[in-house]
């Protein structure tokens, strides 16, 4: 049986058996990818170019859009290339790079979502201290910490995973290199190190979830004490998009990593992988811009009324 030192490439999951379906999948993935590029690109451009959006909330939204772009750009282009060129191959180094960058963007995105919940907490519960606690230096430091957290977490997972001995072939049952699928190729006990690291990360993940939950309990309590209905509506309108994005992120990632083994199957694993790799980068820009008049106005200023006249 081959070990990790003898493996020079991996075989990814083929999305279809026939050439016609492969091309159909290519065009479908291309459309999804372009939609993610357009949505996140528009938000990034609006925040970067419009001085009215130079606030902590939109600064963190800019970081979220960039992370979404990185996340979907790590997985879909290779899947599209494989579908277009009728191949399943990815090099060993390419697989390791895909694992590293995907985990990097995913962990950094979760960190940014935590910071965004803190931003909303300070804005609504302690508005008089907002400028002090979330100044430009503090925002830059927190964003840098989020990216650094993603880097360190990804480095540990990638190094641990690819230092294991792989004895079960080189076929990965997923359309991109995913750690749970690579662990299935490992020798009997060599996955324990990665399992221990995953448990530690799960505890940190849960702790951060509790922090987000506590923040929103305090936020909703503060909002309900606002005397005017217009004030409550405005406060809720700044929180609901973030809450929707957090819910989407947590539900897909949690189910992907904690679903019972009895529910595991190639088709279900594929659907779940699409949910947490493809759906958030496409949906996040829609959620944040759907009812956000400031972003719409910024885009009107940059590109004219034609772009948004039907919204």
Q: DSSP string covering 198-242, please?
A: HHHHHHHHHHHHHHHHHHHHHHHHHHHT-SSHHHHHHHHHHHHHH
173 — pLDDT class (breaks 50, 70, 90): confident
Task: Assign residue 114 the CATH number of its domain.
Answer: 1.20.1070.10
Query: What are 25-83's pLDDT values in tens digits?
Result: 899 999 999 999 999 999 999 999 888 899 999 999 999 999 999 999 999 999 999 98
Q: What angle do CA 247, 142, 205 make, to 5 degrees?
A: 40
Strand partners for 91: 9
The boundaries of the domain holding residue 166 are 4-308
Q: Above pLDDT 70, what percent of the chain?
A: 88
Number of structural domains the chain divides into: 1
151 versus 199: which is more confidently predicted? 151
Query: What are 231-267's pLDDT values in tens digits?
Result: 787 777 778 888 888 888 877 777 666 665 556 677 7
Q: In the predicted model, what is the mean pLDDT of residues 147-155?
A: 95
The pTM of this model reads 0.88
Q: Please enumerate in sequence order all residues whose Cβ is within 8 A of that of 160, keeping only pairs 6 or more positions apart, or say none.
A: 193, 194, 197
Cα-Cα-Cα-Cα dihedral sign, residues 227, 246, 44, 305: negative
């Amino acid at each position: 049986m081959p070990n990790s030192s003898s493996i020079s490439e991996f075989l990814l999951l083929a999305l279809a058996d026939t050439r016609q379906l492969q091309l159909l999948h290519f065009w479908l993935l291309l459309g999804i990818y372009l939609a993610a590029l357009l949505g996140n690109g528009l938000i990034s451009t609006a925040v970067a170019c419009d001085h009215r959006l130079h606030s902590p909330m939109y600064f963190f939204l800019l970081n979220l859009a960039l992370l979404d772009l990185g996340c979907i750009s790590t997985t879909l282009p290779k899947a599209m290339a494989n579908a277009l060129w009728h191949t399943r191959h990815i090099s060993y180094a390419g697989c390791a790079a895909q694992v590293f960058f995907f985990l990097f963007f995913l962990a950094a995105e979760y960190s940014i979502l935590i910071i965004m919940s803190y931003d909303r907490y300070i804005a609504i519960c302690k508005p008089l201290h907002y400028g002090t606690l979330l100044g430009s230096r503090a925002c830059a430091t927190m964003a840098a910490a989020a990216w650094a957290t993603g880097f360190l977490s990804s480095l540990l997972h990638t190094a641990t995973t690819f230092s294991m001995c792989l004895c079960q072939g080189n076929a990965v049952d997923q359309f991109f290199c995913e750690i749970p699928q690579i662990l299935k190729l490992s020798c009997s006990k060599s996955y324990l190190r990665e399992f221990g690291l995953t448990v530690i990360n799960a505890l940190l993940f849960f702790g951060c979830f509790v922090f987000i939950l506590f923040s929103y309990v305090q936020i909703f309590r503060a909002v309900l004490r606002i005397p005017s209905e217009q004030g409550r509506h405005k406060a809720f309108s700044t929180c609901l998009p973030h809450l929707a994005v957090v819910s989407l992120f947590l539900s897909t990632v949690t189910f992907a990593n904690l679903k019972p083994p009895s529910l595991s199957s190639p088709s279900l694993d594929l659907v779940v992988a699409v949910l947490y790799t493809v759906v958030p980068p496409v949906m996040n820009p829609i959620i944040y811009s759907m009812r956000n008049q400031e972003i719409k106005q910024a885009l009107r200023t940059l590109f004219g009324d034609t772009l948004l006249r039907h919204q």
